[in-house]
C-alpha cells in the first residue's frame, strides 16, 4: 500500500508547512496569547515533519532519528495548549505556575534524549509491520505513562475551560467557543486510542489530530475576524461588571453584549446579534446618537429609569486597523442624584428650605438681567420678624426655629412658584417678584403681613404671637439698577416700618 503511505506522509508534510505558516502569522500579532499559540503551532511542525519522515523510513536507525525530531516539539504541546487556553480566555497564571506546567514536558524531553542510557521513556524500540508498510513499535516505559497522564490532565482542564466559555457565551462567541471546544477534544481522543493500543494501522494519529485542531482554530479565528482582539476574552470583568457593554462591528451591527447591558437596554436579546444597533435600540435616541458620533455623553433612560454615561471607543488591532466599536454604559444615577442633592443643600437654607443668601443673589441677579432685556416690572420685599430676639431669649432657640419655619409657610402661601424666596439673615427674609409692579407687590405684602399676624406658634404648651415688618420696593422699568440698589431701597422702607410701630409695611419706589 505505497499510495496510502505516500498520502499519509504527504498530509503530514503539508501539516508541517501549514502549522509553520500559522506560527509565523501568530507571532506577528505580538500578543501574549497568540505567542503561545505560535509556539504551539511550531511544535506541531516538528511533530508532523518528524513523523512524516518516520513513516517514510524503512530502517530502525532512520526511524529513531526522526522520532527524536518529533520530540523537539511533542512533549511541549499539551503545556503550550493549556497555557494558551488560559491566556486566550483572560485567566492569567503566574510565572511559577507556568514553570510548574512546563516541568514535566522538559523532563520528558530529557528522558527521551537520554533514553538509550536509561530506557526510562521507551523500554524497547523495534521495526514491525502493520501489513501495509513498516512502522516503529515502542514498548512504553514508566515515564511514558507519567507523560500520558500529564497530557490527559492538560486537555481535560483545557476542555473544561472552553466548555465553561461556551456555556456562558451568546451569539457568534458561543459558536466560536463550540469550535474551540471541538478543537481541544480531538488530541485527547488520539491520546486515549494510543494508551489503549486501539490506533488503526498502529499509527500515531496525534499529529493529524493537533493539525486538525489548528485548522479548526484558524477557521474560528478568521470567521470572527472582527473580534481579532481575543474574541473569547469574556472573562468575569465582562460578565459581572455593573457597566453595560455592547460590542459592534465596523458597520454598527451588534456582535455581543453582557448581562448588564440587557438590564439597561431590555431590547437586547440573543436574536438581535448581527442586526444594526440603530434598528435594535431605535427608541434610545440619545444612546444611538452618542454611539454613532463616538461621543461621551449622558443619557436619561425611562425603562429602566436612570442616568447613564455612554462612551464609545474604536476597537483597533495592533496595526491600528479598526475591527469594531466598544460601547460602555455606566450607571451614574446615584452620582446624578447625589449632585442634585448637593446642589440642593448648597442652595437652600438648612432650617427653612428656602434659598440661602448666596443662591438668592445668584438667581435674582439673573432675573434682573432678564427684566432689563424684556422691559419687565420687578419688585422686592424684605421681611424682618418683630422682637425675634425676645422670642429666643424667652422660649429658647428651638422655639425660635419653629417660628421661622411657620413664617416661611405663611409666605409660601402668599406667593407664586416663580417668585424667588430666600433667607438673608437670622430672622430676615427676602422675596423677589418677577414681572410684578409696585402696586401688585403692595397687595402681596399686605397679604403676607396679615398671614403672619394671624399665625400662633404653639411650643411646650405656650402660644407665641408673632408679627413682622416689611420693606417694599419696585419699578416698572429697569435701567442700571442692580440687586444691591433694590436691597438698599427695600431696607430703607423696612426701617420706616420699624420706626412707625412695626407690624406694618412701607413702600419706596425705586
Annotated catalytic residues are 427
CB 309 within 8 Å of CB 330: yes
Find the radius of gyration of the CA atoms of the chain. 42
Which strands, in side-by-side order, build the sheet including 420-423? 420-423, 428-434, 378-385, 468-475, 505-509
What gap in Å lies between CA 246 and CA 296, rounded to an integer? 15
Please tell me what DSSP assigns to residue 481: -
Distance CA 186, CA 215 (A): 12
Q: Minimal CA–CA distance to 27: which of 16, 36, 19?
A: 36
Query: In what helix (H) or strand (E) does residue 257 lie, and over which residues does it extend?
Result: strand 254-257
Cell of 29: 500579532
Residue 416: closest CA among 430, 433, 428: 433
Q: Which residues contact 417 (CB under 8 A, 6 or more apart)?
A: none
Q: What is d(CA 234, CA 240) in angstroms, rounded to the nearest whole number?
A: 10
Containing 448, the helix (H) or strand (E) segment is helix 438-453
**End-to-end Cα, the chain, rounded Å:** 117
Query: What's the rounded Cα separation, in Å, for the pair 213 and 23?
Result: 14
Alpha helices per DSSP H over 253-356:
259-264, 277-280, 285-292, 333-347
- Would you say the C-alpha torsion 230, 235, 237, 238 has a positive or negative sign? positive
Q: Residue 105: helix, strand or coil by DSSP? A: helix
Using CA atoms, how far apart are residues 20 and 226, in angstroms rounded to an integer? 24
Looking at beta carbons, which pairs linking 103-106 to residues 24 or more positions away fall under 8 Å? 104/79, 104/146, 104/147, 104/150, 105/75, 105/76, 105/78, 105/79, 105/150, 106/75
Separation CA 416–CA 411 (nearest Å): 10
Find out whether 45 and 73 touch, Cβ atoms under 8 Å: yes
Amino acid at each position: 500500500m505505497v499510495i496510502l503511505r505516500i498520502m499519509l506522509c504527504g498530509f503530514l508534510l503539508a501539516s508541517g508547512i501549514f502549522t509553520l505558516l500559522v506560527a509565523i502569522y501568530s507571532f506577528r500579532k505580538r500578543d501574549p496569547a497568540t505567542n503561545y499559540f505560535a509556539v504551539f503551532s511550531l511544535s506541531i511542525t516538528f511533530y508532523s515533519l518528524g513523523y512524516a519522515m518516520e513513516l517514510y523510513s524503512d530502517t530502525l536507525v532512520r526511524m529513531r532519528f526522526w522520532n527524536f525530531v518529533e520530540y523537539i516539539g511533542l512533549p511541549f504541546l499539551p503545556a503550550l495548549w493549556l497555557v494558551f487556553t488560559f491566556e486566550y480566555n483572560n485567566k492569567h497564571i503566574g510565572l511559577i505556575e507556568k514553570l510548574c506546567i512546563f516541568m514535566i514536558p522538559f523532563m520528558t524531553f530529557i528522558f527521551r534524549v537520554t533514553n538509550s542510557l536509561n530506557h526510562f521513556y521507551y523500554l524497547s524500540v523495534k521495526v514491525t509491520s502493520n501489513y501495509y508498510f513498516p512502522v516503529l513499535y515502542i514498548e512504553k516505559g514508566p515515564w511514558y505513562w507519567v507523560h500520558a497522564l500529564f497530557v490527559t490532565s492538560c486537555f481535560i482542564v483545557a476542555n473544561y475551560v472552553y466548555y465553561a466559555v461556551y456555556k456562558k457565551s451568546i451569539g457568534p462567541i458561543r459558536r466560536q467557543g463550540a469550535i474551540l471546544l471541538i478543537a481541544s477534544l480531538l488530541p485527547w481522543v488520539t491520546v486515549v486510542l494510543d494508551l489503549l493500543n486501539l490506533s488503526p494501522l498502529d499509527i500515531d494519529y496525534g499529529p493529524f489530530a493537533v493539525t486538525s485542531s489548528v485548522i479548526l482554530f484558524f477557521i474560528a479565528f478568521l470567521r470572527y475576524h472582527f473580534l481579532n482582539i481575543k474574541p473569547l476574552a469574556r472573562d468575569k470583568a465582562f460578565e459581572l461588571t455593573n457597566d453595560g457593554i455592547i460590542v459592534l462591528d465596523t458597520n454598527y451591527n451588534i456582535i455581543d453584549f453582557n448581562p448588564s447591558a440587557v438590564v439597561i437596554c431590555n431590547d437586547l436579546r440573543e436574536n438581535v446579534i448581527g442586526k444594526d444597533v440603530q434598528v435594535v435600540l431605535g427608541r434610545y435616541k440619545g444612546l444611538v446618537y452618542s454611539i454613532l458620533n463616538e461621543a461621551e455623553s449622558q443619557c436619561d433612560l425611562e425603562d429602566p429609569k436612570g442616568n447613564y454615561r455612554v462612551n464609545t471607543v474604536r476597537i483597533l488591532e495592533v496595526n491600528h486597523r479598526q475591527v469594531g466599536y466598544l460601547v460602555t454604559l455606566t450607571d451614574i444615577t446615584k452620582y446624578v442624584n447625589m449632585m442634585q442633592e448637593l446642589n440642593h443643600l448648597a442652595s437652600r437654607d438648612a432650617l427653612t428650605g428656602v434659598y440661602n443668601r448666596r443662591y438668592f443673589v445668584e438667581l435674582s441677579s439673573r432675573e434682573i438681567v432678564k427684566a432689563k432685556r424684556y422691559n419687565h416690572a420687578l419688585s422686592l420685599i424684605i421681611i424682618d420678624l418683630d422682637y425675634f430676639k425676645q422670642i429666643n431669649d424667652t422660649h429658647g432657640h428651638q422655639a425660635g426655629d419653629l417660628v421661622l419655619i411657620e413664617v416661611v409657610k405663611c409666605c409660601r402661601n402668599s406667593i407664586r412658584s416663580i417668585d424667588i424666596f430666600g433667607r438673608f439673615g437670622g430672622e430676615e427674609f427676602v422675596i423677589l417678584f418677577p414681572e410684578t409692579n409696585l402696586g401688585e407687590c403692595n397687595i402681596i405684602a399686605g397679604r403676607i403681613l396679615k398671614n403672619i399676624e394671624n399665625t400662633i406658634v404653639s411650643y411646650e404648651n405656650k402660644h407665641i404671637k408673632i408679627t413682622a415688618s416689611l420693606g417694599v420696593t419696585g419699578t416698572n422699568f429697569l435701567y442700571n439698577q442692580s440687586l444691591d440698589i433694590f436691597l438698599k431701597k427695600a431696607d430703607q422702607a423696612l426701617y420706616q416700618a420699624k420706626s412707625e410701630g412695626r407690624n406694618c409695611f412701607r413702600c419706596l419706589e425705586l
